[in-house]
Structure 1
Amino acid sequence: MVSTTSEIISQFVINQYKDGNYQTPLIIGINGPQGSGKTTTCEQVVTELSQKLAANVIALSIDDFLLTHNDQEKISRANPGNKLLEFRGLPGTHDIKLGSHILQSICNQLPIQIPHYDKSLHNGRGDRAPTSKWTLISSPIDIVLFEGWSLGFKHLSETCLKHIYESSLKYSSKSHLPSHKLEHLLTVNNFLKEYEREWYPYIDAFIHLDAKDINYAYEWRLQQEHTMRKRGLSGMSDAEVRDFVDRYMPAYELYVPALRDKCLFCSNDWDRDEDMGKLQREEHRMHKERSLRILLDRNRKVIDVFKNVL
């Protein structure tokens, strides 16, 4: 019998929790494309772990840390013509200080209010909800499931990004990169350094929900939007959803390969070749038990499960 995504994640988290090689709380990073079911899965895992471990388990999303609508418009105006920063979601459109403050408060076991981002506001463009809708988290917290579509993405060197970009111009008719200027991609790439520096050190273990075909994201995101509209909430049209997801595709193209091939916790300066040094290989082996990749089909069913090994 094939296990569900929530069952696999729950067992992985239980193993990490019982291992005890972390400072309380245990923070599990979870990456997955838009619509892959991260939020629903996390809700299921929170319920299951709370029962099995008698632990205080919470779910947290990088969406909670998105800039307000007004601040997002400021980012857009500061980067004219950069479609990647025109709307919410891409690296550079989150409140890094707010996220760091909340993560540190959780680690210090301080009561904290978690912001709520309402994606239905401004005709589906979204905005941070008023503080009356924020969630008060009581301490002590044992486990945090921290999820996000781009969580775990790590910046590429300028040389590497330029090489990928130039290759896409010459050899790939399906690439989304040529739809954007190189300097716009480099701007987003540089923003990723803030996430790596300020947020990633909090992550103790990491799970990558990987789609067999990243283009499933279009269908999955449409399903989410249709569900939201059925609930009577404002949302984007189908054409707007496609335009919205289009803006995410370059990031998937640039950063998902590294999530598949490397361990999140390894250094960011080694290449995928046979000349990888002995110490770098050992670094990968030392951390592989802290990483998991779950491959999903079009219906979000589990195809395979991988531990990150060389």
Structure 2
Amino acid sequence: MAQVQAVFAQSPRRPAVIGLCGAQGSGKTTLARAVLKACEGAGLRAAVLSIDDLYLTLAERQTLARDVHPLLATRGVPGTHDVTLGLSVFAALDAGERVALPRFDKAHDDRAPQSEWPSSPLECNVLLFEGWCVGARPQARVDLLVPVNVLEASEDVDANWRTYVNDSLSTAYQTLFARIDRLILLAAPGFEVVQNWRLEQEHELAANVGKGGKVMDEASIARFVAHYERLTRFILQEMPGRADLVIRLDAARQPVEIRERT
């Protein structure tokens, strides 16, 4: 909360935007909700937006899969978000307007109806912008040549998918991330823990899913997180050197080190 209050006091813009990055299952959503509650308790008008809620619709991703690369049917990587939608939300918040905050229904793998989107407060003071690749930067092109896993080696032989993802991250996403006033990284001990963390998330989703919802089994989870592996590994390597606050986690998601950039 001290970080939030410092950003709010120092930022010339409203809302002050706190970027919260962390691998799947690292606890970003839980932390964002706790900070939201603390903000409200301190009298600040606050809202939470997840980059996951900016995913393209299922139909839009199916079009990308047909026209660009089949792997783009799977939500998650840069290139599968509606960045224009995110920028429009930021612009409305910057103008002090009350704005509908997009929501994505992961159980149905599609955007939730707009009637189900919550509204931000009028003249929002703080926006918590969280997501697995929030604040990420692209890799050097030469680093895309060697596959990082079986998915890339067998289904992206010519590197077209990962190049499209990297190029997407290089352009509009950087405009979106430029609005972040303070970047916080929840740093996993390594990519190796992410599959188990994501599996725990799926168990929670299964417990809450409604009629017609879909959940993934362990094999599907392993394939799903493989889409995220390259950029997650790069974030864990590159972002700690520039994030404003790094919270290093152990495999049980307990903080083992907290370091603030000076």
- TM-superposed deviation, 1:78: 1.6
Cα distance in structure 1, aligned partners of 2:235 and 2:73: 20
- TM-superposed deviation, 1:176: 7.2
Distance change >3 Å, CA 195–CA 302, structure 1 → 2: farther
Q: TM-score, normalised by structure 2?
A: 0.91
Would you say the 8 A contact 1:176–1:250 is kept in 2? no
| Corresponding residue for residue 114 of structure 2 | 131
| 1:236 has 2:199 as partner | no
Would you say the 8 A contact 2:107–2:209 is kept in 1? no
Which residue, 196, 200, 216 being the options, matches 1:219?
196
Tell me the amino acid that sits aligned with residue 94 of structure 1.
H
Name stretches of at least 5 consecutive residues in structure 2 with no aligned partner.
Answer: none
- TM-superposed deviation, 1:156: 2.4
Distance change >3 Å, CA 87–CA 117, structure 1 → 2: same
| Corresponding residue for residue 50 of structure 2 | 61
Number of residue-to-residue matches in the alignment = 257
Q: How does 1:283-294 map to 2 (within 5 A)?
A: 291-294=244-247
Distance change >3 Å, CA 239–CA 211, structure 1 → 2: same
Deviates more, 1:220-229 or 1:182-191: 182-191
User: Identity, % of aligned pairs?
Assistant: 28
Q: How does 1:203-282 map to 2 (within 5 A)?
A: 203-233=180-210, 234=213, 235-261=215-241, 263=242
- TM-superposed deviation, 1:77: 1.1
Cα distance in structure 2, aligned partners of 1:75 and 1:232: 27
| 1:11 has 2:16 as partner | no
Cα distance in structure 2, aligned partners of 1:219 and 1:78: 33
Which residue, 54, 62, 68 being the options, matches 1:73?
62
- TM-superposed deviation, 1:65: 0.9
Q: Deviations over 1:60-110 (max 9, x none)?
A: 1111111011001111112234x3x23101000011111110111011111
Q: Partner of 2:26: helix, strand, or coil?
A: coil
Tell me the amino acid that sits aligned with residue 104 of structure 1.
A
Q: Deviations over 1:196-240 (max 9, x none)?
A: 442012111100110012221111111111111122443112211
Cα distance in structure 2, aligned partners of 1:117 and 1:184: 23
Distance change >3 Å, CA 232–CA 101, structure 1 → 2: closer
| Corresponding residue for residue 275 of structure 1 | none
Q: TM-score, normalised by structure 1?
A: 0.77
Deviates more, 1:179-188 or 1:209-218: 179-188
| Corresponding residue for residue 22 of structure 2 | 32
Tell me the amino acid that sits aligned with residue 97 of structure 1.
T
| Corresponding residue for residue 171 of structure 2 | 194
Would you say the 8 A contact 1:153–1:256 is kept in 2? no
Would you say the 8 A contact 1:96–1:194 is kept in 2? no
Q: Partner of 1:240: helix, strand, or coil?
A: helix
Name stretches of at least 5 consecutive residues in structure 1 with no aligned partner.
Answer: 1-9, 265-290
| Corresponding residue for residue 269 of structure 1 | none
Deviates more, 1:201-210 or 1:182-191: 182-191
Tell me the amino acid that sits aligned with residue 194 of structure 2.
A
Which residue, 48, 57, 64 being the options, matches 2:38?
48
Distance change >3 Å, CA 244–CA 176, structure 1 → 2: closer
| Corresponding residue for residue 95 of structure 1 | 82
Aligned-residue Cα RMSD (Å) equals 2.0
